[in-house]
Amino acid sequence: MLGVSVAARVEQVYREDSRRILATLIRLLGDFDLAEEALHEAFFVAVERWQRDGVPASPRAWLVSTGRFKAIDALRRRARFAASQPLLIAQLEELEQVEWSEEDVEDDRLRLIFTCCHPALAADAQVPLTLREVCDLTTEEIARAFLSAPATIAQRIVRAKAKIRDAKIPYQVPTLGELPERLDSVLRVIYLVFNEGYSASGGAELIREDLIREAIRLGRLLMELLPEPEVMGLLALMLLHESRRPARTDKDGKLIVLDEQDRSLWNAELIAEGCGLIERALASRRFGPYCLQAAIAAVHAEAATAADTDWEQIVGLYDVLQRAMPSPVIELNRAAAISKRDGPLAALTLVEAILARGELLDYHLAHSARAEFCRQLGRVEEAREAYQRALELTRQEPERQFIEERLKALE
């Protein structure tokens, strides 16, 4: 019978190191599916061997070696019967000659992140593949988070793996010259995961804590392995947003806007960590859009009350951000800051200009912002019309309830 201490140790190693081991096996074997089979085979063998022989001094290295040998054995058996025997034999010879050391394992996690977020892969496959392979979320969990069918998510993951194999996408960290473009893909994927957790695109819940945790875990991992200013900026941005989560909803799950939040509920530890990171990033003078967004979040976080917020500084940061990364959504957020500094009429003019260009017509927050500015100006009918349009577009229940309450208040 398996001893409790050994069983607990196997579970602990799986929980803490399975993704590291998988990353190394993917590099050594050159195949996602073969590596996953090898990973599970290795842990299955560990249950029996560690009970008999004791837990090895380096469980991670033992599991990588065992998984690799199990994969080679599986390929040998397959080679005896497969029509493509010469190809399999060549693959076997190549695998048997590959050398590795335990020091490679940390780099392998970084390689895996960059592989899953390679720009050659379809954009809608990068997030599911990263969550599956790097974070170990199940296909069902990913599908539930992004309101998709599990079969659809599974197909995207399968196609992405096939693309990596067939296109021979290199399993490596980009060179210094390639890093800016490739790093942007990785940061975008991590921030997409965080945003889906922080403000779900649909469903009954505003917040998905599991996705927030996974995104921050990825951000911390990337920061540990590649401490670039924009990586610091993204991690700071996520931490500062996360610091406000306890105050974003009431006990019934209803949305509470930033100005009305109880700031005593904000997490001071996360605020301190986020502000420290953004100070380091800005000091490098090599900051980009994530750093600027984090700097805006830091100004909010440092204000003791809503009235103490330095809106002049926030508008100035949005000006710089808009030049660095032109976007109608950034324009919309800047308009909200303008409303605090210059009043609702100035903000309404900006929002109506965005909508007049045909941009953000299907974005519920643009219509909600227009409604709010009209309400503040006493233009009740225009506010009601804009809130109705926002209500038609939103797919998230807490936001629907918030807009419905605003509509009732107009009556």
Tell me: the pLDDT tens digits for 102-138?
555 456 877 888 889 898 999 889 989 988 888 887 8
Q: Residue 332: what pLDDT?
A: 96
Q: Residue 371 in contact with residue 406, Cβ under 8 Å?
A: yes
83 part of a folded domain: yes
187 part of a folded domain: no
294 part of a folded domain: no
Whether the predicted pLDDT of 155 surpasses 90: yes
- Whole-angstrom CA distances from 147 to 134, 154, 254 are 21, 13, 21
Q: What is the residue whose two structure tokens read 């194999």? A: 165
Boundary-marking domain end, from 102, 131, 165: 102
- Across the range 309-316, mean pLDDT stands at 97
Whether the predicted pLDDT of 89 surpasses 70: no
Q: Which of 50-59, 178-187, 344-353, 387-396 has the lowest mean pLDDT?
A: 178-187
Q: Residue 240: what pLDDT?
A: 97
Q: Residue 262: what pLDDT?
A: 95
- Across the range 142-168, mean pLDDT stands at 87
* Confidence label for 3 from pLDDT (cuts 50, 70 and 90): very low
Q: Which of 32-36, 78-82, 126-130, 407-411 has the lowest mean pLDDT?
A: 78-82
Which CATH number is 404's domain given?
A: 1.25.40.10
CA 180 from chain center: how many Å?
18
Top pLDDT among 313 and 131 is at 313
Average pLDDT, the chain: 86
383 part of a folded domain: yes
Is the pTM higher than 0.85? no
DSSP structure string for 198-230:
HS-SSBS-S--HHHHHHHHHHHHHHHHH---HH
Q: Residue 317 in contact with residue 294, Cβ under 8 Å?
A: no
Top pLDDT among 241 and 175 is at 241
Which CATH number is 42's domain given?
A: 1.10.1740
71 part of a folded domain: yes
386 part of a folded domain: yes
Instruction: With CA atoms as reference, report the closest residue to 224 among 394, 86, 216.
Output: 216
- Across the range 279-284, mean pLDDT stands at 93
Whether the predicted pLDDT of 290 surpasses 90: yes
* Confidence label for 315 from pLDDT (cuts 50, 70 and 90): very high
Instruction: With CA atoms as reference, report the closest residue to 19 among 6, 33, 36, 31.
Output: 36
* Confidence label for 88 from pLDDT (cuts 50, 70 and 90): very low
Whether the predicted pLDDT of 356 surpasses 80: yes
- Across the range 262-281, mean pLDDT stands at 96
Boundary-marking domain end, from 102, 135, 168: 102
Residue 43's domain spans which residues? 4-102
The tally of domains found in the chain comes to 2
- Across the range 303-308, mean pLDDT stands at 94
Whether the predicted pLDDT of 166 surpasses 80: yes
Kindly give, in sequence order, each residue whose CB lies less than 8 Å from that of residue 411, ignoring residues fewer than 6 positions away: none
* C-alpha span between 191 and 22 (Å, rounded): 23
DSSP structure string for 117-160:
T-TTS-HHHHHHHHHHHTT---HHHHHHHTT--HHHHHHHHHHH
378 part of a folded domain: yes
- Across the range 291-315, mean pLDDT stands at 96
pLDDT tens digits for range 29-75: 888 888 899 999 999 999 989 988 888 988 988 998 899 888 888 87
pLDDT tens digits for range 221-266: 889 878 899 999 999 999 999 999 999 988 888 889 999 999 999 9
Whether the predicted pLDDT of 299 surpasses 50: yes
Boundary-marking domain end, from 57, 84, 102: 102
* C-alpha span between 345 and 351 (Å, rounded): 10
How does 28-48 read in b/e, with b if 16+ C-beta sit within 10 Å? bbbbbebbbbbbebbbebbee
125 part of a folded domain: no
Q: Residue 108: what pLDDT?
A: 80
